[in-house]
Amino acid sequence: MNQFDKQTSRTFRIAFSLVSAVFVTGLVGFHFIEGYGFIDSFYMTVLSVSTVGFEVVRPLSPVGKLFVSFLIIFSLGSFAYVGSSIVRFFLDGEFVNKLKTSRVSKRIEKLIDHVIICGYGRNGEQAALELMDHNHPFVIIERRDNVITRIQEDPNLLFIQGDATNEEILRTAGIDRARALIATTPNDADNMFVVMTARSMNNKLTIVSRASEIGSDTKLKRAGATNVIMPERMGGQRMARLVTQPDVVEFMEYILLQRNRDISIQEVHCRKMSATKQGKTIGELSLGKVTGTTIIGLKNGEGKYVFNPGSDHTLTIHDQLFVLGSPEQVRNLNSYLEGKI
């Protein structure tokens, strides 16, 4: 339960306790002071707290009159607090936030093959933007109240407030149905726990983690991370290459980071390749001529990478191609390999 839910729950518990205390005090007081039975005590308590002025059961004793005066003052203060709490719940947006959270939870329950982003700092936000550009579903896990407030400003973002090392939180995020998890917290120890917990819950999950300290990358991989990214190291390498190979860096960034996606590097799996095309070479299939894509590399069934494969390379259903082309050209390549065109 997050801080917002705890505060709301505490407020309503206090309100319920005050109302209960008013009626219990009235029932006990009228019974022992005036000798009323349960029904008469309840009736007199309702008359007192409502101040409607109906006829009393019988004339009150001096002590009874003092008790009624105290009960009225106590009930007015209690009901004033309860009323202000209810008004604040609606006017301060708490009720609306509850509805939004409920809607978000229902949308998360329907996610399949999505990505879980643990932490919404600078790296987490950039990861979310990139996934958004590729129209890939994702859900954010974040525990900081101020960050959750910022996330709620965008109705398209799905989020869960909580600790990503908690199995229940990961289960709520649909880790059993997820395709990948990205751990982006600035603390390597936190990322380690996230990776270990996620790996124990889904052995087939692709896990990408951030690392800050030298040596943490090895530990994170041992814990179950598929890939480990060190932003500081990558930043230093990029700055050096902008000095030694500026045009190469700018060209690659244009291909990989452009927003309009006119052309990009994409993965194309051959596992759905039709039987008529299996066992043929790249040259025999004329992939570039038919689809307009350029094959810049591939990963074979043994996990080995082949850069700029020749036309004599025989494709199998275990190969994974890396191609350069427009979205339409990549779609045509997929359709061509599957025998649809």
* Domains located in the chain, CATH noted: 3-92 (1.10.287.70), 111-234 (3.40.50.720), 262-337 (3.30.70.1450)
Average pLDDT, the chain: 84
Does residue 206 surpass a pLDDT of 90?
yes
Q: How many residues would you count in the chain?
A: 341
Q: Looking at the predicted structure, is the pLDDT value of residue 305 above 60? A: yes
Q: Which of 322, 260, 254 is nearest to 133 (CA)?
A: 260
Task: Report CA torsion sign: 252, 253, 256, 261.
Answer: negative
Closest CA to 161 of 97, 110, 95, 229: 97
pLDDT level of residue 128 (50, 70, 90 thresholds): very high
- The per-residue pLDDT for 92 is 59
End-to-end CA distance of the chain: 53
Give me the long-range contacts of 135-143 (CB less than 8 A, separation at least 24): 137/111, 137/113, 138/114, 139/108, 139/111, 139/114, 139/115, 139/173, 139/174, 141/116, 141/117, 141/169, 141/170, 141/173, 143/2
Give the list of residues 6+ apart from residue 207 with CB closer than 8 angstroms, or none. 180, 181, 182, 183, 195, 198, 199, 224, 225, 226, 227
335 vs 57, residue with greater confidence: 335
Cα–Cα distances in Å, from 34 out to 28, 237, 325?
A: 10, 87, 90
The SS3 call for residue 341 is coil
Provide the residue type at 240 as one letter: A
User: d(Cα 88, Cα 15) in Å, to the nearest integer?
Assistant: 13
- At 328, is the secondary structure helix, strand, or coil? helix
Share of the chain above pLDDT 90, in %: 19
Instruction: Report H helices in the chain.
Output: 3-34, 38-50, 62-91, 94-109, 122-133, 145-151, 167-172, 188-201, 216-223, 231-244, 246-257, 282-285, 287-291, 327-337
Q: Average the pLDDT over each of 29-38, 76-85, 160-169, 171-180 and give the range with the smallest value.
A: 76-85
Phi and psi (nearest 5°) for 204? Answer: -95, 0
The pLDDT tens digits of the residues spanning 58-75 come to 778 888 888 888 888 888
Alpha carbon distance 77, 13 (integer Å): 16
- Residue type present at position 287: L
